[in-house]
Every structure is written in C-alpha cells, then in structure tokens.
Amino acid sequence: MNRRIALPTMGIWLMPVAAEAHNAAGAIDWTFDPCVVTPLLLAAAAYAAGVSTVWRHAGFGRGARPWQTLCYAAGWLALAGALVSPLHAMGELLFSAHMVEHEIVMAVAAPLLVLARPAPLFLWAWPSAWRPAIGGITRAPAWRAGWGAATSPAIATAMHGIAIWLWHVPVLFDLTITHMGIHRLQHLSFLLTALLFWWALLRNCGTGAATGHLFVTMTHTGLLGALLVFAPRVLYGAQTLHAPDWGLTPLEDQQLAGLIMWVPVGTIYAAAALLLTAQWIARSGTAWEPGDATHLR
C-alpha cells in the first residue's frame, strides 16, 4: 500500500498514544483569551436576557421556539468548545487538532446559530427605550443593501470559499501559530463568513440552489483536503513542528488534517444537502419559499 495514503488512517489510531505521550511532557489546558471569552459570555448573556424578556411578555415558546433555543445553546457550546477548551491549545501543536477546531466553528457551530435566529432576541436584551433606535439601524437603506449583498447565496458562498483557501496558504497559516492577532483574525473570518454562508442557504435561498452551493463547497473543500493528504512534502512547517511530540511525523499530521477536511466535513455538507432535499420532497405539494429551511428540526 502507498505509504502516503496509509498514513492518515494510521494517524487516527495513533492519536490516543500521541495524547499520552504529550501528557507526559505537559498538560493541555483551557484557553481563556479575553478577546474570545468576553464576546462568548456577552452573547450568552444577551441571548438569555432576550429570551427571558420575550417569554415573560409573550409566553413560553412564543418569539423563540424551544428548538431554536436548543440550537443556540448547542451552537454556542460548540463554538466555546472549539475556541476555549483544550482542543484550542492542541491546535497550536497539532495541525489535525487545529483542523478539527476550524471545522467545528464553520460546519457545526455556524449552522446551529443560524437556525436559532438569535438577532431578534439580542434586540430584546436591550432596555425598551433603546430598542427602536437599535432596530432602526437594521432598517437603514445602507444596512439593508450591505446585508442583502453579503447574504446573497453566490456572494456568501464565494466569500466563505475565499476565506478557507486564503487562510490555508502555507505562509499565512503558519503565521497564525506565531502571531496571536493573526490567529484571532483567522478564526473571526472563518466564523463570520460561515454565518453568512449558512444564513444565505437556510434563510435566503431555494432548496435546489442551496443544495448546489453545498455541493460546490463540499467539492472545493474536499479538493483542498485531498491536496493536503497527497502533498509529497510538509507545507506547514510551523504548524506541524510539534507533531513528533504526539507520535506523528509532520507529514502524517498534515495528511491527517487533510483527511479530516476531506471526509468528515464533506459528510456534514452532504448530510445538509440531503436534509434540504428531503425538506423539498416533503413540501413538494406546496411552493418552496426562501427561508423555508429554517423549519428544519
């Protein structure tokens, strides 16, 4: 069997051994970066306050359905788990762990947060006297034009794809390991473009077009993953520098990262496309309207 093809699979079985080896050298701790933790806590507090206010005035389940609050909680926990838990610290040392972190942000947390539709709840978290002014910002022509362009399915898919490919340019990706500010910018761009991408598909797109955009994204991310798997040499020197501490060679770590992007993440996009198709079939007797995907449960 070709050694380069076999190594990513071998890496999966080596991970427990690698973890034990690294634990012997030093523990992997939670990361409490104020620039990450503060927005997370504010988002959780604002959402909780908004839901509490809406349900107090309108009754339980009105304005925010229970399944939507569960989606928000799951999305928030996934985001916090990716950016604060020991996975983030592992991502500083292992390319494959870093890839898992990114994919949780883009393919798990982002769609869950979009399905939750938290924006109206955030508005209700503000004092009643401030809400008209804040809500008025979103009705301004400039805001509506900008938001409409950013959430256009074609533009959102393109922006998300550009962000993914741009940040995987080896010199830029390695910079995220050595410069904290650039690392934060990478994560922020992944999250924001992923939110726009999933919003465009689930709120602003017909099922056929949404499935097409998912297929395009699955294809180009799969291609990028395959390039990492079959690359004949290490492309990310700084990111894979500590792979031997985990029982992997730098090339094995890079190949395992590519395999994670190629197969599990592709499966997520394919599953989303199948769900949208099933939704369309179930509603075949009625006309599909943009935004119907928000009723997925």
pLDDT one-digit tens code per residue, 51-78: 999 999 889 988 899 999 999 999 999 9
What would the mean pLDDT of 168-197 be, rounded to a whole number? Answer: 96
What would the mean pLDDT of 179-208 be, rounded to a whole number? Answer: 95
Model confidence at 164: pLDDT above 60? yes
Q: What is the pLDDT of residues 239-260, one digit of tens each?
A: 999 999 999 999 999 999 999 9
What's the pLDDT score for residue 15?
Answer: 42
Confidence of residue 138 (pLDDT cuts 50, 70, 90): confident
Confidence of residue 2 (pLDDT cuts 50, 70, 90): very low
Q: What is the pLDDT of residues 255-292, one digit of tens each?
A: 999 999 999 999 999 999 999 888 878 776 555 455 55
Model confidence at 93: pLDDT above 60? yes
Q: What is the mean pLDDT of the chain?
A: 87
Model confidence at 296: pLDDT above 80? no
What's the pLDDT score for residue 152?
Answer: 96
Structure tokens at 134: 């804040």
Model confidence at 6: pLDDT above 90? no
Percent of the chain with pLDDT over 90: 72
Model confidence at 184: pLDDT above 80? yes
- Name the least confident of 15-29, 113-127, 232-246, 277-291: 15-29
**Global confidence as pTM:** 0.85
Structure tokens at 61: 């389940």
